[in-house]
Chains A and B, each alone.
Chain A
């Protein structure tokens, strides 16, 4: 069964600290993995995309990693800011099937001053 699991469910950190969010998946065959950021009351916005051959990709203070062998991804946030407070959703896609996106339930990050 194709599944995506994220951990932790929620996380509180102090402003300026780093944190890492995890995403484990069983989706097969694998096409790509995206991390989305969803601010409260808004729609999700794509942060980064990882394909099978990519191990690490950065977008500013956000760095995503992918281990396709263990089917794990992480999103590392460096020097957190208050504006990083949001839900982060991992979405894994397969290249077969019409309904081929599988969503994690998200990690709710709160950055406090």
Chain B
């Protein structure tokens, strides 16, 4: 089974602090994604990556950056956390482009971030 691991499930940070969220997948998937999920807004794409060292902005990239130095690892960075970044962050991976028939997204368990 595909496993997408987000090691930090819950974290509390203060405004201005740097936040580093890590995601690791074990199925050699090419594509990895970072979403945030907020009540009433659903999942919104922050950044995605279709290859090592490659990144593309999603719908809401402001205030975030990402790093993909190895195929299995995709990190989300908040350089200076703000209260409006309090949210659930979900990492996902897929073998191929999710727009294609077999492009199922496999999600991690999520990282719930609270910024005070």
Query: A104 to nearest B CB, angstroms?
Result: 6
Q: A42-B109, A43-B108, A105-B41 are in contact. Are A99 and B103 (CB under 8 A)?
A: no
Type the 1/0 row for A13-49, where 1 means its CB is closer than 8 Å to any CB of B: 0000000000000000001101010000111111001
Contact: B101 with A99, CB < 8 Å? no
Total B residues in contact with A, Cβ cutoff 8 Å: 26
Which residues of A are found within 8 Å of B99, using beta-carbon distances? Answer: 31-32, 93-97, 100-101
Q: Does B104 contact A49, Cβ atoms closer than 8 Å? A: yes
- Decide if A72 is an interface residue (CB 8 Å cutoff): no
Residue among A93, A101, A104 with max Cβ neighbours from chain B (10 Å): A101
Instruction: Give chain B residues whose Cβ lies under 8 Å from the Cβ of A104.
Output: 42
Residue of B nearest to A94 (CB): B99
Could you tell me if B58 and A99 are in contact, using CB atoms closer than 8 angstroms? yes
User: Inside 8 A of A43's CB, which chain B residues have their CB?
Assistant: 4, 90, 92, 107-110
On A, residues with C-beta under 8 Å from B are 31-32, 34, 36, 41-46, 49, 51, 89, 91, 93-101, 103-106
Besides the contacts A43-B107, A93-B100, A103-B42, what 20 more A-B pairs have beta carbons closer than 8 Å? Answer: A32-B100, A41-B109, A43-B90, A43-B108, A43-B110, A44-B105, A45-B107, A46-B104, A49-B104, A51-B101, A93-B98, A93-B99, A95-B100, A96-B99, A98-B48, A98-B50, A101-B99, A103-B43, A103-B44, A104-B42
> Which B residues are closer than 8 A to A by beta carbons?
4, 40-45, 48, 50, 56, 58-59, 90, 92, 97-101, 103-105, 107-110
